[in-house]
Amino acid sequence: MGTLALAFLLKGVAETKPPTTVSVGTTILGVGWIAIGLGHLILLRDIPVHAQLATLTVVLAVFASDTAAYFTGRLFGRHKLAPAISPGKTWEGFVGGTLVAILVPFFAMYKQDFLTVWESLVLGAVIAIAAPVGDLFESGIKRDMQVKDTGTLLAGHGGMLDRIDAQLFAVVASFYLLVALGYA
């Protein structure tokens, strides 16, 4: 409820004048989206068995997948993934990122006797799908709001939200997969 009141207060003092519904709705969506993602990161960290390993693996898999997708797309990218939302993303980059997203949990979790082979591969596939969806979701919001970056804290990187957008989706999906597999 505090977020709703704050959204109306900020709307009143803001220099931009979008419709109140858009302004307040965007504020609440942003707070909810970030809070759900970070809340699930805490839930993932608190699973009964191998919590630190699971948390680090998901975060590392998303980071490595994003990096691999970027470089694979730069080197081999020819076919646009979602040109209207994020013109720089390619199918080739998606494939490169997917391979890395599947390999990281396999090597990190299977070798530690935490997940079976197929469970670690499924976790990697879930991360490979959820992370780009989170990235495209955030890109779509930026496109809709007609802004290039979500902030200036990390100059040249599009803002802090651009660094964690994929994490916010991948952590939620990974947690619920581990719940479904009986680990949480």
Mean pLDDT of 161-170: 89
- What is the domain partition of the chain in residue ranges? 36-180
The backbone torsions φ and ψ at residue 130, rounded to the nearest 5 degrees and listed phi first, read -65, -40
The pLDDT, as a whole number, for residue 146 is: 75
86: which strand partners?
A: 82
pTM: 0.84
Q: Tell me: pLDDT of 43 over 60.
A: yes
